[in-house]
């Protein structure tokens, strides 16, 4: 591994993810918080996962997993949509407000709007204690062990996703899935150093003009977050699409200067693999992140991260985001940037002015 002090907080927090998951899950088990929430929150309604930036991408993967586990309808919505277009909400619904800091203006204002104007009890998910979000939400899922010093979200992303998946498993009475989440940290820990070495080598061996991330289902939020990490930490141009949607126009951008990262699922493996083969034939460079690679994947992948995790498919999402985080980090370091201090960004997005301090709300 390259010796560097640049981005020290960020890389430490990425490499601490499995340990952090263990601490978060142990805290939730000790307090019985998941069981209490699963019993107290209403049944038979739509769950709406709400966030901004990385927290919205947590919401995307959490919503997909929630429906797969519980059979309950779920979707992800940016907090700003709740404020500007409140009629998109169905009634009744169970809103889940996700914010690492618990201070993000749009998330807090969305919670205020839901709680005080629509009289809907909300669930807040955060890593910060004593925050505005905690004070507004009727219910709370607090993960202080996952909080971070760095500006960009890394372990907080995967930990909040894992906690929401655990809540879904408890809600569904799926003891096997819940147990698999407990096995994930140790299995992922063994992957960290080889994964870091492979991604660092990739970042330093080739320069790309465009980074594209493709995924489906519970991995789409992971692909979106990976795209954002490359943008935030390396100031590189990056895009994200559903894998099969990439064929419908966007593939025109593919060239030798395009790195296309595939998150291959088991559920859609054959169809997603066909897109991989097509993009390779068009001359794009390919990075594949998958649990198990077959011979075609090995032929079509210029770079391959094989997870080999012995847990259900959706339970792998938290681990699958780590290569994208490492790609953002080492691409930034290679460009002489400091991932701890990304350009134009602050750790918490707070806004002034407008309705209640940040965003002027549309009428409900």
Question: Residue 346 has what pLDDT?
Answer: 60
Q: What is the mean pLDDT of residues 84-108?
A: 94
Residues 6+ apart with CB under 8 A from 303: 198, 202, 285, 286, 287, 288
Question: Residue 90 has what pLDDT?
Answer: 82
| 187-215 pLDDT, tens digit each | 999 999 999 999 999 999 999 999 999 99
| CA distances from residue 66 to 31, 70, 144, 321 in whole angstroms, order as listed | 22, 6, 23, 18
Q: Give residue 354's pLDDT band: very low, low, confident or very high (50, 70, 90).
A: very low
**For 20-24, 147-151, 326-330, which range has the lowest pLDDT when averaged over its residues?**
147-151
Q: What is the mean pLDDT of residues 9-34?
A: 97
Question: Residue 348 has what pLDDT?
Answer: 57
Question: Residue 91 has what pLDDT?
Answer: 80
Distance (Å, whole) CA 158 – CA 50: 16
Q: What is the mean pLDDT of residues 128-147?
A: 96
Q: Would you call 321 helix, strand, or coil by DSSP?
A: coil
Question: Residue 2 has what pLDDT?
Answer: 46
pLDDT exceeds 80 at position 165 = yes
pTM of the model: 0.94
What domains are there in the chain, each with its CATH number?
A: 8-186 (3.40.50.10490), 190-334 (3.40.50.10490)
Q: Give the helix ranges, DSSP H, for the chain.
A: 8-15, 17-31, 33-40, 54-70, 79-84, 105-112, 132-136, 155-172, 175-189, 192-205, 220-234, 269-281, 295-300, 317-320, 322-334
Question: Residue 356 has what pLDDT?
Answer: 42
pLDDT exceeds 90 at position 345 = no
Q: Give the helix ranges, DSSP H, for 251-356.
A: 269-281, 295-300, 317-320, 322-334
Q: What is the mean pLDDT of residues 159-188?
A: 98
Contact (Cβ atoms closer than 8 angstroms) between residue 317 and residue 221: yes
pLDDT exceeds 80 at position 41 = yes
Q: Give residue 166's pLDDT band: very low, low, confident or very high (50, 70, 90).
A: very high
Q: Edge-to-edge strands of the sheet including 139-142?
A: 74-78, 46-51, 93-98, 123-126, 139-142
């Amino acid at each position: 591994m390259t010796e560097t002090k640049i981005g020290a907080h960020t890389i430490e927090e990425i490499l601490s993810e499995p340990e952090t998951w263990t601490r978060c899950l142990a805290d939730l088990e000790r307090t019985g918080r998941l069981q209490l929430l699963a019993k107290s929150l209403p049944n038979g309604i739509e769950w709406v996962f709400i966030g901004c930036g990385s927290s919205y991408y947590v919401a995307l993967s959490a919503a997909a997993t929630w429906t797969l586990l519980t059979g309950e309808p779920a979707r992800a919505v940016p907090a700003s949509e709740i404020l500007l277009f409140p009629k998109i909400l169905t009634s009744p619904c169970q809103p889940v407000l996700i914010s690492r800091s618990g201070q993000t203006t749009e998330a807090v204002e969305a919670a205020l709007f839901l709680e005080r104007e629509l009289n809907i009890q909300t669930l807040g998910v955060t890593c910060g204690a004593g925050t505005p979000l905690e004070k507004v939400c009727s219910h709370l899922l607090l993960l202080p062990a996952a909080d971070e010093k760095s500006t960009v979200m890394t372990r907080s992303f995967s930990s909040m996703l894992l906690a929401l998946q655990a809540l879904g498993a408890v809600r569904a009475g799926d003891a096997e899935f819940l147990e698999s989440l407990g096995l994930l940290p140790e299995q992922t820990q063994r992957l960290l150093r080889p994964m870091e070495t492979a991604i660092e080598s990739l970042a330093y061996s080739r320069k790309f003009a465009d980074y594209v991330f493709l995924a489906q289902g519970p991995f789409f939020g992971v692909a979106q977050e990976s795209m954002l990490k490359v943008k935030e930490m390396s100031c590189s141009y990056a895009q994200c699409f559903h894998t099969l949607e990439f064929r419908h126009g966007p593939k025109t951008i593919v060239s030798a200067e395009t790195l296309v990262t595939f998150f291959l699922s088991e559920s859609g493996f054959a169809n997603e693999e066909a897109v991989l083969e097509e993009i390779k034939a068009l001359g794009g460079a390919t990075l594949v992140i998958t649990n198990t690679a077959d011979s075609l994947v090995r032929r079509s992948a210029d770079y391959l991260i094989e997870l080999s995790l012995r847990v259900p498919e959706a339970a792998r999402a938290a681990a699958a985001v780590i290569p994208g985080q490492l790609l953002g980090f080492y691409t930034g370091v290679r460009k002489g940037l400091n991932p701890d201090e990304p350009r134009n960004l602050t750790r918490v997005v707070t806004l002034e002015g407008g309705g209640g301090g940040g965003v002027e709300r549309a009428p409900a």
